[in-house]
Amino acid sequence: MAPPDVSRRRFRILAVVWLSYLLVFLARLSVGALSPYLKDAFDLSSAQVGGLMSASAITYAPTLIVAGWLVDRVGVRRMLIFGTLVASLCIMAMYLAPSYAILFGLLALSSLGAGCVYPSAVRAVILWFPVTERATAIGVNQTAINASGILAALVLPSIAERWGWQYGLLAVGVAGLAVTALVVVGYRSPRAGDARARDTGQSNGTATAPSRPPRGTFRSLLRHRDVRLLAAMGFFFGIVEYAVLAQLILYMTDDYLLSAVAAGGVLALAQAAGAVAKPVSGLVSDRLLDGRRRPVLVAMAALSLVMCLVLAAGGDELGWAVYPVVTLLGLAAVGWGGLFGTAAGEIGGRAAAGQVAGLTAAAVNVGIVVGPPGFGAIVDATSSYDLAWLAMAISSAAAIACVAFVHEPREHDPAARLEFDEA
């Protein structure tokens, strides 16, 4: 067990990383909260509004890969500062955007910053937290996504109603500059004594510094079966998660005849369930399963599979039972990200955690591009949600097939671990 001062220090570090993650996702999600005002201000079609929603994804996925490579070389602190600052400045600049094209471009540029933060957060947890606390820590950090969505939905429309949509974006940008200053002051890399205390429970002595990634590491991880399998799992489960988040309101209004406000409450229920599942699944993995990640990921994908089959079979006849079904689907399909990020970081090890986290998260973002429009296309073609939910069940099954064959890292299974730390 680490000394109290080291434990307090690492949780302060987690708070700094959490705020940075909250800010960059608040920047990404602000367009959704302000979409009615942006549509009126720029006389946009619904398709153009949808284009704004996807603008950040254009640069986010490739940035994750490059940022994962960089953070393993230049360090977490520099990447957090750069990422938070770039996202903040781009959102502030949208205050002055004169046209749709400029707005679109600034949103795309903002994700150059956002893409730097996720692999940096994973690497920070790998460096600061022992294996028995990592999944819980990353699960807590992932709740920043849910918190940013709730904050954007509650605060930004109110600002827009009173002062205009520009001031909502300006508020996000100013908050981002404050968080950037906090990262400058509050984040640092662990000292040798911190690393030894984390791993052995002792604060004295000299720890061996983590090895730097050898030449060719990035090519090596692309060839590694566990990286490919985990990335494939992320792709298939990313399809399910973002199809649920994008289409659930329409499903509830069309099949259950709820108002848009009531259907939004159902979506909030799924988001809240996912927010709870992220730290809880990490706690189960850390404390009850001795740090094993694969069994919990398999269980979550299996729960998603079952719930999607229930929705496919039940159609609009589930009645009140649809609410617990949606809650369980949220637990599984929205709450898996924290444990997924932990598994990615541990497969990479301390030398390549950022690279593996960035690559696997990029695969998730490819699924994000495929899932929502694919789900909608099935509904349009069949005039029914049944086959769309069946497709989500198939995607969940594919996720199970991938993650079931991922080996546990060397800390849990000495036979399986990328060879980066041995170089």
User: Which are the contacts of 398, defined by CB distance < 8 A and separation ≥ 6?
Assistant: 232, 236
Indicate the DSSP class of residue 417.
-
Report which of 247, 246, 233, 228 is spatially closest to residue 364, judged by C-alpha positions. 233
- Domain 4-190 has what CATH class? mainly alpha
Mean of pLDDT values over 189-194: 67
- The Cα angle at residue 140 between residues 154 and 347, in degrees rounded to 5: 135
| 113 to 67, 78, 127, 353, 363: CA distances (angstroms) | 9, 12, 22, 19, 18
Summarised one tens digit per residue, pLDDT across range 217-252 is 556 777 788 899 999 999 999 999 888 877 787 788
Summarised one tens digit per residue, pLDDT across range 295-317 is 999 999 999 999 999 999 987 78
- The Cα angle at residue 276 between residues 272 and 281, in degrees rounded to 5: 145
Query: What gap in Å lies between CA 80 and CA 398, rounded to an integer?
Result: 34
Confidence label for 409 from pLDDT (cuts 50, 70 and 90): low
Residue 230 pLDDT: 94
- Enumerate the CATH 1.20.1250.20 domain ranges in the chain, comma separated: 4-190, 217-408
| CB-CB contact of 118 with 353 (8 Å) | no
Segment (H or E) for 151: helix 134-163
Confidence label for 423 from pLDDT (cuts 50, 70 and 90): very low
| 25 pLDDT higher than 90 | no
Select the more confidently predicted residue: 103 or 194.
Answer: 103
Burial classification of residue 138, based on how many CB atoms lie within 10 Å of its CB (0-12 exposed, 13-18 middle, 19 or more buried):
buried
pTM over 0.95: no
Report which of 313, 303, 324, 310 is spatially closest to residue 396, judged by C-alpha positions. 303
Summarised one tens digit per residue, pLDDT across range 106-140 is 988 888 888 898 888 888 888 888 877 888 888 88
Thinking of the domain 217-408, which architecture would CATH place it in? Up-down Bundle (1.20)
Select the more confidently predicted residue: 368 or 340.
Answer: 340
